[in-house]
Amino acid sequence: MSFKFVRELPTPAVVKEIHPVSAALAEIKKERDRMISDVILGHDDRFHRSLFC
């Protein structure tokens, strides 16, 4: 199988430059990332409860 190169994808830095995020939105993302991490690491049992309820 071969691929045809249409155009180069932008780097994450370029995407962040084109679409800046407000400080408030960045803080919301940081908090949600922490919540997800807590579930994955077993510090929060929400996922476990939803599987076995």
Using alpha carbons, select from 28, 10, 32, 27 the residue that is nearest to residue 19: 10
The answer to whether residues 11 and 3 touch, using CB atoms and an 8 Å cutoff, is no
Specify the pLDDT at position 50.
59
Specify the pLDDT at position 49.
61
Residues 6-28: pLDDT tens digits?
Answer: 898 999 999 999 999 999 999 99
Long-range Cβ pairs for the range 48-51 (8 Å, 24+): none
53 has pLDDT over 60: no
Q: Is 51 helix (H, G, I), strand (E, B) or coil?
A: helix
Specify the pLDDT at position 42.
85
